[in-house]
Amino acid sequence: MRKTIFRKKAVLLLALFAVSSILAACSPGTTEPADTQEKVLVVGFERDAETLNHIKTGWYSDALVYLYDRLISRDYDFNYEPGLAESWETSEDGLVWTFHLRKDVTFHNGNPLTANDVKWTLDTILDPETASPAQSDFAAIAGVDVIDDHTVDIILKTPFPNLLFVLSNTAAGIINQEAYEQYGDEYGVKYVIGTGPYMFEEWRQGDEIVLTKNPEYDWGPAWMANTGPSKIDKIILKTIPDENSRLMELLAGNVHILRDVPATFVDKVADEPDVTIHRGDATKLGYLAYATDKAPFNDLRVRQAINHAINKEEIITYVFRGIGTPAHGYLPPALKSEYYADSEKDGYAYDVERAKALLAEAGYADGLNVKLAAENSTEYSRLAEVLQSQLKAVGINADLQLYDSSSYTAMLKTGEQELFLRLYSWPNADILDWFLLSSQLPYPNHSRWNDSRTDDLIHAAASSPTWEARALGYHEVQKHLISQAVWAPIYIPEKLMAVRNEVKNLQYHPWLPQYNDGTDLITE
């Protein structure tokens, strides 16, 4: 009898052990084979997206790069390469560009990509009723003609050497017309349909955007080592506004990558064995702007005084820990041919007495009171405090107003701004079109700069017959903007990205990391 009972107990124990083994194998944090575990890459950011409808936004979330493909791609040397368009040619007069689309591409909803989607996307951006912030980027386009299902002609008003750049940018991601019209106002918030290597899963605003890999993706550009589905199953774009919280999450392993790293992080992670800082030249520029259509900023002398009041070297040293360089013009030197080399010579040196004299000439010998707005991040608030002190030294009393990212954008759109801090990241001189053409009023022309001379110079440069002539034209644009003190350029940050060591084979790109090109996540 005892033997029978023992055998039954033994069998029961073995069964329970088997069940527990199965359950353990299915639970998180177990020794399940690495190739069967879901690989979730978490990337930390200081601010959230405005919308994932790129036609409607002036602030492009990284998510848009992975959700949408574009006609043209950019390789690791930033050369123009095929994307959704496998080839293209131009007419002799440079006014007609013919693009031949790939025939194996489908949208995330299963619809095939056709030339109609290309035409609809570009037409919608160009339609004045859409009020797309990107409209000016595409202004050289006179029309788009569908030749057949996989061939489209883009007809230009004038020669436009920057067309390939425009078609390679985030704003030119091709959208499925059917999905866009089906989801209406919910498109870009609850629904997003592209052809990219990742598909939209969820956006919890102010918290995170979740992307899932597209298992059908097999049309990555030929310059990538991996043209098929990504090794990373999910990407979570996590919004963590507080600088110290982002760092803690990185060090704890809850975040794998911080895309835009504050300069203060470099020293803090220098001795961390699990984190590497990647550094490089940035196509970024940080500046102090002002509403130029409001007193006292509609007075050139006041704008010049503000420029002279700023001690950029002090800011680089104490705010950015010596990482970065002073900005003197309106483009970063990394743009090389487009950058105006005499920006520093023509610009405004730090000169407290000159700033005071200019304010006195403008009728503010006793000083003036203004509002200074900034986003409520550690770095921006620290910069705002230093600027507040520097402005006070010349008689400008600035009342600080700090906003979260969404409230900051809303404030700029409604035109409440006086003085405000901005940072752009863009690898082309047409960023000046974006922010300073009068047609961009009131958004994204936050400076509210309405100047026919600026418009004429930009239009002349943008419609130049060759890239060389275009670059020279933008030199004239920058020279004029400096003379008018439209902004107060402050600093050019380095491109800093913090990456945990469990992220393998990350393909660093001049513009954005290509997580679908073989990037892997290996955890012990």
Domain presence at residue 109: yes
Pick the last residue of a domain from 159, 176, 193: 176
Lowest model confidence (mean pLDDT) among 122-126, 241-245, 277-281, 354-358: 277-281
Task: Let me know whether 500 and 476 are in one domain.
Answer: no
Task: Let me know whether 250 and 318 are in one domain.
Answer: no
Residues above pLDDT 90, as percent of the chain = 76
Task: Let me know whether 482 and 369 are in one domain.
Answer: yes
Residue 524 is predicted with a pLDDT of 65
Q: Taking residues 469-475, what's their average pLDDT?
A: 96
Q: Taking residues 478-497, what's their average pLDDT?
A: 95
Confidence bin at 98 (pLDDT 50/70/90) = very high
Domain presence at residue 96: yes
Task: Let me know whether 437 and 322 are in one domain.
Answer: yes
Pairing of strands 40-45, 234-239: parallel
Cβ(498)–Cβ(261) under 8 Å?
yes
**Tokens matching residue 242:** 């507080």
Please name the residues in contact with 395: beta carbons below 8 A apart, sequence gap of 6 or more: 356, 359, 364, 365, 366, 367, 368
What is d(CA 61, CA 84) in angstroms, rounded to the nearest whole number?
Answer: 21
**Tokens matching residue 218:** 């097999």
pLDDT tens per residue, range 248-272: 999 999 999 998 888 878 888 888 9
Residue 28 is predicted with a pLDDT of 40
What is d(CA 309, CA 300) in angstroms, rounded to the nearest whole number?
Answer: 14
Confidence bin at 191 (pLDDT 50/70/90) = very high
Q: Which domain holds residue 238?
A: 182-280+495-521
Which residues share a beta bridge with 504? Answer: 520
Domain presence at residue 424: yes
Task: Let me know whether 161 and 259 are in one domain.
Answer: no
Pick the last residue of a domain from 157, 176, 195: 176
Q: Taking residues 453-459, what's their average pLDDT?
A: 97
Task: Let me know whether 189 and 112 are in one domain.
Answer: no
**Tokens matching residue 501:** 């060591």
Residue 340 is predicted with a pLDDT of 98
Domains of the chain: total: 3
pLDDT higher than 80, residue 9: no
Instruction: Quickly list DSSP for 22-34.
Output: HHHHHSTTS---G
Lowest model confidence (mean pLDDT) among 32-41, 67-76, 409-418, 494-503: 32-41
Instruction: Indicate the angle between helix axes 300-309 and 378-392, nearest 10 degrees.
Output: 110
pLDDT tens per residue, range 27-82: 344 444 445 689 999 999 988 999 999 999 988 999 999 999 999 999 988 889 99
pLDDT higher than 80, residue 145: yes
Domain presence at residue 330: yes
Task: Let me know whether 503 and 481 are in one domain.
Answer: no
Q: Taking residues 347-359, what's their average pLDDT?
A: 98
Domain presence at residue 24: no
Domain presence at residue 53: no
φ and ψ at 386, to 5 degrees? -65, -45
124 vs 37: which has the higher pLDDT: 124
Domain presence at residue 121: yes
Task: Let me know whether 297 and 309 are in one domain.
Answer: yes
For the domain that residue 130 is a member of, what is the CATH number?
3.90.76.10
Task: Let me know whether 379 and 439 are in one domain.
Answer: yes
For the domain that residue 457 is a member of, what is the CATH number?
3.10.105.10
Q: Positive or negative, the Cα torsion across 44, 45, 50, 52? A: negative
Domain presence at residue 165: yes
Confidence bin at 11 (pLDDT 50/70/90) = very low
For the domain that residue 265 is a member of, what is the CATH number?
3.40.190.10
Task: Let me know whether 264 and 318 are in one domain.
Answer: no
**Tokens matching residue 281:** 């030249």
**Tokens matching residue 305:** 């005084």
Residue 27 is predicted with a pLDDT of 39
Task: Let me know whether 448 and 349 are in one domain.
Answer: yes
Cβ(309)–Cβ(391) under 8 Å?
yes
Task: Let me know whether 171 and 96 are in one domain.
Answer: yes
pTM: 0.76
